[in-house]
Amino acid sequence: MAYTSLEACLLDLETNGQLVRIREEVDPHLEMATIHHRVYEAGGPALLFENVKGSRFRTASNVFGSLERSRFIFRDTLEQVQQLINLKNDPMSALKNPFKNIGAVLAATKALPLRNPLSKPVLFQEISIQDIPQIQHWPNDGGAFVTLPQVYSEDIDHPGIMNSNLGMYRIQLSGNEYIPNKEIGLHYQLHRGIGVHQTKANKKGVPLKVSVFVGGPPSHAVSAVMPLPEGLSEMTFAGALGGRRFRYVYRDGYAISTDADFVITGEVLPGENKPEGPFGDHLGYYSLTHAFPLMRVHKVYARKNAIWPFTVVGRPPQEDTSFGQLIHEITGSAIPKEIPGVKEVHAVDAAGVHPLLLAVGSERYTPYNPTKQPAELLTIANHILGTGQLSLAKFLFITADDNNKVTAHHEEAFFTFMLERLHTDRDIHFHTHTTIDTLDYSGTGLNTGSKVVFAAYGDPMRTLDTDLPSYLQDLSTIADCRMIMPGVAAIQTRPYANEEETAKEVDQLNARLGDRIEKEIGTPLLIWCDDAAFTAANLRNFLWVAFTRCNPSHDIHGIKAFQHHKHWGTNGPILLDARIKPHHAPAVKLDPEVVRKTDRFFTKGGCLEGII
């Protein structure tokens, strides 16, 4: 269905039993986000808040709360867009199967943006930043944030909508040192297209004009987060996915999405930054206060009866998980076409996406050699770590399977396959003093840390333990120790103090374990954590604790470890120190009092009764 507005989509969801209206007044300070969080956790419907305290505008959330709902929203265009992506990767297939690909051709006719000066719904009224619902999501957030923005900028050397960038970079509306209604914070991270645009504007010493679109047809929000193949613009993708051309005009030199519910226009001046944050982010921790670009507000527009969409990010899974699932469904074939030898790449949502990549590749370099060891896999790993946002990965586990039975999307089975084949003395490769995700505070500074590649290939070299090995059961210095999955155990000792104390503890563990561990270790991975029971409780906890709290170069140790010609390896288990460190950001937690206040919506007679 080609929705002309966000409201049209919400009415369609309501008609099909996938939306609940909340008519009681709701406070945008924590309460609204808490309701959203509880409904999402329960797998509940989209929400339309009709009475927002302090604002005349309605808000909507959980619109993309499940992959099934996203499929429903794009039910008439999803298959055509998948074909369009495939044709971009393999244009010859259009010639070979012209009738099979007719849907992609039809989708492409909706892709070209439409300059539409006669249709200007969003220009219905001018408002102020303070009129927008001031939604604070987590208790320690620095103010109100926009969490579903479509941030638009153009290349100053090649202006025009076809050379533009549309990205979802969070916007801070209030708090900190921002002058109310005149300044807002623009947070963007590494490998974002807007950075290229700002760099060019800075070199010329001129402001970068930025437009922030909020709402509009749901395809517009999805297009802002899509990792599109080179040469496909976000605007053309929005039209193809939405089944309706992206409509726009220019006003005061700013591009305006005429179908948006709200548009904020403004300038980013060279060298102007202000503190932005904290903000409870999608790794499950707060991203802390740092200097980020400042946007001077020019004008704010809203359509008649506008609806402000928002989402809540935090420890995965959250609504942005569904975005990731939809992206994979649409572009699943793109990465294998872009990186030779790759069969699958899976950014693990439970670990916060960027901290952990699992990949399945090929091993074709030396078929004549009876010795099976990683070769092509290492080339592929370097390609992955040099490709777009994949380059933000901190841990990359990559393997090859001659029988094509392993998949990167079944995490436990994948780790079992890897650990059965991993040569801990050969297959671990570090990248030090490099970039990591801006939101990852396990490193040595903002955007700064290390990476590690685990590349395993060949026949199984060990049988993994399913029960706790005896040498861990009777070790007095371990407060608690539990199996997480075959071959992986959680060990709990004292809390982290500093690097010096950690080195002493590793030496003590080596002294007590080194002589007791057989060469073919059945538990090759030990997760050193603060709470073994929590870490081992389920796969989700293991992935979150292990890979969000570890900086590989500093926090990977080994029992019987060695260095030889600058290569690090270990003849015993890998010891991954995932304890909380003093420099880590705090984890996000709901306010218990706000949770109690929102119980009224879920108890008998409440509009959300029976959802949780």
pLDDT tens for 453-494 read: 999 999 999 999 999 988 888 777 788 999 999 999 999 999
Residue with the bigger pLDDT between 193 and 198: it is 198
pLDDT of res. 271? 87
Confidence of residue 83 (pLDDT cuts 50, 70, 90): confident
pLDDT of res. 529? 97
- pLDDT average, residue stretch 184-193: 77
Residue with the bigger pLDDT between 23 and 517: it is 23
| Nearest C-alpha neighbor of 335 from the set 85, 164, 93, 71 | 85
Are residues 468 and 489 in contact, defined by beta-carbon separation less than 8 angstroms? yes
Confidence of residue 118 (pLDDT cuts 50, 70, 90): confident
Residue with the bigger pLDDT between 576 and 113: it is 576
Fill in the amino acid letter for 454: F
Confidence of residue 196 (pLDDT cuts 50, 70, 90): confident
Are residues 468 and 481 in contact, defined by beta-carbon separation less than 8 angstroms? yes
- The β-bridge relationship of strands 125-127 and 290-302 is antiparallel
Question: Is residue 507 scored above 90 in pLDDT?
Answer: yes
Omega prior to 278 cis, within 30 of 0: yes
Q: Which CATH class is domain 320-456?
A: alpha beta
How many whole angstroms separate alpha carbon 489 and alpha carbon 467? Answer: 9
Residues of each domain in the chain carrying CATH 2.30.110.10: 66-73+110-315
CATH 3.40.1670 for the 470-577 domain, yes or no: yes
- 66-73+110-315 folds as Pnp Oxidase; Chain A (2.30.110)
Q: Which residues pair with 574 in a beta bridge?
A: 525, 558
Are residues 277 and 290 in contact, defined by beta-carbon separation less than 8 angstroms? yes
Question: Is residue 88 scored above 70 in pLDDT?
Answer: no
- Is the dihedral angle over the CA atoms 345, 348, 349, 353 positive or is it negative? negative
Using a pLDDT cut of 70, give the percent of the chain over it. Answer: 93
What is the helix (H) or strand (E) element at residue 287, kind and residue range?
strand 286-287
How many whole angstroms separate alpha carbon 429 and alpha carbon 396? Answer: 10
How many whole angstroms separate alpha carbon 88 and alpha carbon 284? Answer: 35
How many whole angstroms separate alpha carbon 142 and alpha carbon 135? Answer: 11
Residues of each domain in the chain carrying CATH 3.40.1670.10: 320-456
Of 9-13, 75-79, 575-579, give the lowest mean pLDDT range. Answer: 75-79
Question: Is residue 57 scored above 90 in pLDDT?
Answer: yes
- pLDDT average, residue stretch 165-182: 95
- Is the dihedral angle over the CA atoms 109, 111, 115, 120 positive or is it negative? positive
Of 73-82, 176-185, 231-240, 418-427, give the lowest mean pLDDT range. Answer: 231-240
- The β-bridge relationship of strands 290-302 and 307-310 is unpaired
Residue with the bigger pLDDT between 365 and 163: it is 163
- pLDDT average, residue stretch 498-521: 86
pLDDT of res. 97? 47
What is the separation of C-alpha 111 from the centre of its chain, rounded to a whole number of angstroms?
Answer: 26
pLDDT of res. 177? 96
How many whole angstroms separate alpha carbon 542 and alpha carbon 252? Answer: 52
Are residues 18 and 46 in contact, defined by beta-carbon separation less than 8 angstroms? yes
What is the helix (H) or strand (E) element at residue 473, kind and residue range?
helix 470-473
Which tokens hold the place of 467? 């029960």
- The β-bridge relationship of strands 567-570 and 279-280 is unpaired
Omega prior to 316 cis, within 30 of 0: no
- pLDDT average, residue stretch 174-179: 96
Confidence of residue 359 (pLDDT cuts 50, 70, 90): very high
pLDDT of res. 287? 94
